[in-house]
Structure 1
Amino acid sequence: MKTFWLCIAILCFGLSSCSSETAEIEQPQDEAIYFPPLTSETWEMVSISELGWNASQLQPLLEYLALKHSKGFLMLYNGKIVEGTESYMNGHSANTLWYWASAGKTLTSTMAGIAQDKGLIKINTKVSDYLGTGWTSAPLEKENLITCKNLLTMTSGLDDGLGDGVLAENLHYTADAGTRWAYHNVYVKMQDVISKASNQTWNAYFNSQLRDPIGMDGNWFTFENSNVYASTTRSMARFGLMIYAKGKWGNTQIVSENFLTQATTTSQNINEAYGYLWWLNGKPTYHLPQTQLEFPGSLIPTAPSDMYAALGKNDQKLYVVPSKKLVIIRMGEAADAQNFGLSDFDKVLWSKINALIN
């Protein structure tokens, strides 16, 4: 697997240090962010002509998405669906649930923010204060170095080469917490922390604090030692819209803006392109899963530099671009080879999006 990721990094991202100009959108005057109703299929739209985009490039974008095994796609501009971009293909429909894979890590990050806002947890507190000692196989003094923030930033120091299991026997010490970045399934222990602190099941607390207040559908299910979320494409867009709106849904603050600012900013000094389970574009360097190598250049050089993203296995994508007022969703099968979330597809897809919004 490590060899696979090295090949992907070299072949697919070798040009990432090259500069790339992204298109500027001719935007109308600032207007209030639009939020769709909680219990209705109604969702206002804005036309491509209103935005001044290049309508001739919409069909090539949709054809490329269909060719690359996509299932659902849509673009929001300041909360409204860009007319013509919402598309379901390859046997999918607007009502079909699809898995988020690791893009759902950002749901866990957001829930950590909500729990902290409510005074239930503190992310700088060690995990064993919530779960008790012995939740890993690390020596006690090393286990006690691991904080909730380490789980959110992939810096637990636990061995990422032992598979995705998160029972104690699978969690072995490799380095002191905070000194090594490694993409590791141990982040799901954050869900256990929140469950313990709230005295509720993870599902119940998630539904009451995040899913239902923004009108999402979907549920969590267990798959390959992980808790995975599945929803419709529009529900992923609802979550992206709440994040774009700095944690608000209408007049309700779901998660604090302060926490989201931290979550979407470089969170440690090892992988500049990683926040609290969010991937960050426009940084000087980045790391990838399954390797300790550092690569020069922006994560997705064809995308706007201020973009941050939830990226999941086999090309589940949630892009948030504040400067362009965009939230973009792509669900589906792997565009090309199987991957952990980032792939060459991101670069080509953004070149197609740029052609549309130019």
Structure 2
Amino acid sequence: MKNLKLLLLFLLPLVSCNNDDEETVAPIITNDAMYFPSNTDTNWETKSLASLGWNQSAVQPLKDYLILKNTKSFIILVNGRIVMEEYFNGHAANTSWQWNSAGKTLVSATTGIAQQEGLLNINNKVSDYIGTGWTSEPIDKENLIKTKNLLTMTSGISDASNLVITSNLTYVADAGTRWAYGNVFQKLMDVVAGASNQNFETYFDSKLKNKIGMDGFWNNGIIFKVYNSNSRSMARFGLLALNKGKWKNETILNETFFNESTTTSQNINPSYGYLWWLNGKSSFMIPGSQNVFPNALVSNAPADMYAAMGAEDQRIYVIPSKNMVIIRMGTASDPGNPTFAVSGFDNELWLKINDVIN
């Protein structure tokens, strides 16, 4: 009987996985308990599409679409296990790629960790940590800007330029009265550095990156610091987010702050938390616009989804109701119309994903 069970397990369709490193391919697991990969072991457990009852005939159309839309890597986790892992266009499991603004969520988490360690309070003004004169605003207006305003894109600072230098940080509205997507969020890195009395990357590495086994680094981009890593490291952070800041038995980021991060953070754009995008809300705003759109952010995706979104369609989708994390890295899905965050690509991609998972 034991041999028969082993034979039946072997005959189950293997997980869809195109990986150049054979050591990363693990036996299929059907246990539904939450799984966390070892911080050093590349032998990440997998789960078969068949065991989930997914539509395997829809997998190839999904892959074809991903290739058509300039995708380099695509991963689906369910309960932490890899169900799909695909690499395209010469990309490989060990290749680093930029997160772009999806990396804002790393800054959000690191800010939360600094708060739980008592180093800062997001309700205190930014100048408490980096000094006055960090903007070109009148001092009374600058002192209205709290750390929380940087987390929620409500600083009131001009978003006309994405280059964060003092001369560009000019007054448009009082902090908390206007939502505008921009790169001034990166001042949070200075806040954490000032509060912790160390370089932001050093603090980030010790408190977040190393604890969950991520690889990667921050590089100085043309406009702001951008995080780069392999795709599985992005998936690791998505798994941490699915588990509301917990990794195995350790609390990396306390659940209270994480829940605040993935809940409407202000009354102007309900689809925005602490640098996380939120689905299923009554309306949303987009970068570079003050227009309000009366729909959910990604209508084809589950309503409870929250997402890290970056330029050229870098994505972490987290869907708690399905215990699922989805990663997409690549170049812009539409090179002629690149976006900084939300794009029509999300809805189109979710049509293909739904064909597989439903």
User: Normalising by structure 1, what TM-score?
Assistant: 0.90
1:272 CA drift (Å): 0.5
1:137 CA drift (Å): 0.4
**Separation in 2, partners of 1:214, 1:348:** 32
1:225 CA drift (Å): 2.5
* Structure of greater relative contact order (alpha carbons < 8 Å, 6+ residues apart): 1
Q: Which residue of 2 aligns with 1:4?
A: none
**Separation in 1, partners of 2:241, 2:117:** 18
**Separation in 2, partners of 1:51, 1:95:** 28
1:151 CA drift (Å): 0.1
Q: Which residue of 1 aligns with 2:146?
A: 147
Q: Deviations over 1:292-332 (max 9, x none)?
A: 11110100000000000000001001000000111000000
Q: Which residue of 2 aligns with 1:343?
A: 343
SS of the residue corresponding to residue 285 of structure 1 reads: coil
Q: Which residue of 2 aligns with 1:352?
A: 352
Q: Which residue of 1 aligns with 2:13?
A: none
Q: Which residue of 2 aligns with 1:15?
A: none
**Retained in 2: the 8 A contact 1:145–1:176?**
yes
Q: Which residue of 2 aligns with 1:92?
A: 91
Instruction: Output the amino acid matched with 2:342.
Output: L
Instruction: Output the amino acid matched with 2:278.
Output: L
1:321 maps onto 2:322 in alignment:
no
**Separation in 2, partners of 1:224, 1:266:** 30
Instruction: Output the amino acid matched with 2:43.
Output: T
2:227 counterpart (229, 240, 243):
229
Q: Which residue of 2 aligns with 1:299?
A: 297
Q: Which residue of 2 aligns with 1:101?
A: 100
1:169 CA drift (Å): 1.0
SS of the residue corresponding to residue 317 of structure 2 reads: strand
Q: Which residue of 2 aligns with 1:68?
A: 69
Q: Which residue of 2 aligns with 1:284?
A: 282
**Retained in 1: the 8 A contact 2:244–2:258?**
yes
SS of the residue corresponding to residue 328 of structure 1 reads: strand
**Separation in 1, partners of 2:222, 2:121:** 29
After the TM superposition, which parts of structure 1 deviate over 6 Å for at least 4 consecutive aligned residues? none
Q: Which residue of 1 aligns with 2:265?
A: 267
SS of the residue corresponding to residue 301 of structure 1 reads: coil
Q: Which structure: larger Rg?
A: 2
**Separation in 2, partners of 1:356, 1:325:** 16
Q: Which residue of 2 aligns with 1:81?
A: 82
Q: Which residue of 1 aligns with 2:253?
A: 255
1:63 CA drift (Å): 1.1
Give the total of aligned pairs: 328
1:117 maps onto 2:116 in alignment:
yes
**Separation in 2, partners of 1:32, 1:50:** 14
1:95 CA drift (Å): 0.6
Kindly report which structure 2 residues correspond to 1:5-16, keeping only aligned pairs within 5 A, or say none: none
Q: Percent same amino acid among aligned pairs?
A: 57
1:30 CA drift (Å): 9.0
1:73 CA drift (Å): 0.5
**Separation in 2, partners of 1:184, 1:341:** 11
Instruction: Output the amino acid matched with 2:72.
Output: K
1:126 maps onto 2:108 in alignment:
no
2:187 counterpart (180, 186, 189):
189
**Separation in 1, partners of 2:188, 2:345:** 30
**Retained in 2: the 8 A contact 1:68–1:334?**
yes
**Separation in 1, partners of 2:137, 2:176:** 15
**Separation in 2, partners of 1:104, 1:139:** 31
Instruction: Output the amino acid matched with 1:149.
Output: K
Q: Which residue of 2 aligns with 1:16?
A: none
1:165 CA drift (Å): 2.1
Q: Which residue of 2 aligns with 1:21?
A: none
Q: Deviations over 1:223-269 (max 9, x none)?
A: 12201000000000000001101111101100001100000000000
| Structure 2 unaligned blocks of 5 or more | 1-29
**Retained in 2: the 8 A contact 1:33–1:245?**
no
1:32 CA drift (Å): 2.7
Task: Give the root-mean-square deviation of aligned CA atoms.
Answer: 1.2
**Separation in 1, partners of 2:66, 2:286:** 24
**Separation in 2, partners of 1:248, 1:135:** 34
SS of the residue corresponding to residue 210 of structure 2 reads: helix
Instruction: Output the amino acid matched with 1:78.
Output: N
SS of the residue corresponding to residue 240 of structure 1 reads: helix
**Separation in 1, partners of 2:31, 2:146:** 40
**Separation in 2, partners of 1:98, 1:50:** 31
**Retained in 2: the 8 A contact 1:130–1:196?**
yes
